[in-house]
């Protein structure tokens, strides 16, 4: 049988088969992923082949993981030098951000965008809590939208509290598998509850299949909106960190830098203090936003500007 992993609790996985039925499954033996040091061989969104066991307990054994189209990872919190795969086979990611209560920093947004670029995942920035804006904040929001839209990112404003922009958000999600991310407190859960009717029912259905008493907030979880539309909630993704991006390649994951890379005097230019750097020249001319360049430098030098 074939199916998709919708939840992981460590050693057990919840798999939805092609007919929509849920199966509690485990991996057969040890799976090694070629050339990857990861703490989990299987992630939410993985497509698998499995057999239902004949023990009468409605359990299954996964014997094959299909090749991934893409995936997103973070540094493992348990094993040094290992990464943790958060989710696989994504059509897009939604980064939920806020200007107030709490404020999402440019550093956090840019680190997320770089990670998504590195793993080939298109991203939309969604600003929630627009009902709290005064006129000055509305203008600031427009400036931020312009900053990111001119380098190719879609930016939306919504209000979960006032139910504004929710229909447009649903339209954006239709027919796709979407990763939801953002700091705690940005209203991600409230938005998901608005988008997925009877979410409590779906959550309890999944919980019934999971190990009782297992704390799973560090694991992603997939919810079905309709047979073609899925969202993956990711409580732990805020601890991302940049994984395995060499300094010489970092500029490739900033679209506005990528288009200028062949214009620098030196092939191995790090866009910091080298002469004849097209990126630094573009920053001076305000063609590249200073906030974006500051985010780039903080990642280049291993500093943290996510506050």
Residue 174 among known ligand-binding residues: no
Residue 165 among known ligand-binding residues: no
Residue 213 among known ligand-binding residues: no
- Domain boundary assignment for the chain: 2-67, 89-233, 250-301
Residue 271 among known ligand-binding residues: yes
Which CATH class, in words, describes the domain spanning 250-301? mainly alpha
Question: What is residue 202's predicted lDDT score, i.e. its pLDDT?
Answer: 55
Residue 2 among known ligand-binding residues: no
CATH number for 89-233 (one of 2.60.120.380, 3.40.50.300, 1.20.1050.90, 3.40.50.170): it is 3.40.50.300
Tell me the C-alpha distance between 58 and 53, whole Å: 7
Residue 9 among known ligand-binding residues: no
Question: What is residue 11's predicted lDDT score, i.e. its pLDDT?
Answer: 77
The CATH architecture of the domain made up of 2-67 is: Beta Barrel (2.40)
Question: What is residue 213's predicted lDDT score, i.e. its pLDDT?
Answer: 36
Residue 280 among known ligand-binding residues: no
Residue 277 among known ligand-binding residues: yes
Residue 215 among known ligand-binding residues: no
**Chain centre to alpha carbon of residue 261:** 26
Residue 217 among known ligand-binding residues: no
Task: Check if the beta carbon of residue 107 is closer than 8 Å to that of residue 183.
Answer: no
Interstrand relation of 83-88 and 71-75 (parallel, antiparallel or unpaired): antiparallel
Residue 23 among known ligand-binding residues: no
Low-confidence ranges of the chain (pLDDT < 70): 30-36, 56, 75-81, 200-219, 235-244, 304-307
Question: What is residue 81's predicted lDDT score, i.e. its pLDDT?
Answer: 66
Residue 202 among known ligand-binding residues: no
Question: What is residue 233's predicted lDDT score, i.e. its pLDDT?
Answer: 87
Closest CA to 76 of 299, 306, 243: 243
Question: What is residue 263's predicted lDDT score, i.e. its pLDDT?
Answer: 96
């Amino acid at each position: 049988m074939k199916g998709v992993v919708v939840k992981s609790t460590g050693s057990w996985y919840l798999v939805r088969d092609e007919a929509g039925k849920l199966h509690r499954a485990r991996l057969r033996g040890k799976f090694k992923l070629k050339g990857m040091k990861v703490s989990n061989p299987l992630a939410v969104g993985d497509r698998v082949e499995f057999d239902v066991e004949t023990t009468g307990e409605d359990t299954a054994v996964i014997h094959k993981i299909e090749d991934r189209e893409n995936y997103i990872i973070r540094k493992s919190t348990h094993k040094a030098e290992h990464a943790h795969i958060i989710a696989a086979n994504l059509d897009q990611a939604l980064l939920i951000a806020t200007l107030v209560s709490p404020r999402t920093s440019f550093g956090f947004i840019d680190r997320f965008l770089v990670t998504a670029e590195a793993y080939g995942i298109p991203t939309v920035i969604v600003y929630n809590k627009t009902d709290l804006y005064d006129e000055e904040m509305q203008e600031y929001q427009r400036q931020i939208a312009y900053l990111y839209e001119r380098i190719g990112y879609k930016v939306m404003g919504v209000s979960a509290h006032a139910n504004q922009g929710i229909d447009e958000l649903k339209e954006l999600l239709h027919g796709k598998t979407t990763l939801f991310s953002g700091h705690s407190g940005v209203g991600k859960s409230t938005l998901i509850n608005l988008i997925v009717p009877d979410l409590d029912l779906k959550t309890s259905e999944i919980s019934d299949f999971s190990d009782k008493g297992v704390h799973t907030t560090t694991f992603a979880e997939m919810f079905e909106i309709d047979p073609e539309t899925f969202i993956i909630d990711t409580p732990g993704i805020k601890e991302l960190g940049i994984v395995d991006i060499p300094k010489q390649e970092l500029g490739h994951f900033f679209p506005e830098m990528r288009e200028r890379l062949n214009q620098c005097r030196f092939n191995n230019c790090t866009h910091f203090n080298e002469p004849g750097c097209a990126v630094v020249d573009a920053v001076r001319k305000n063609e590249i936003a200073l906030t974006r360049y500051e985010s780039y430098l903080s990642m280049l030098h291993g500093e943290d500007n996510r506050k």
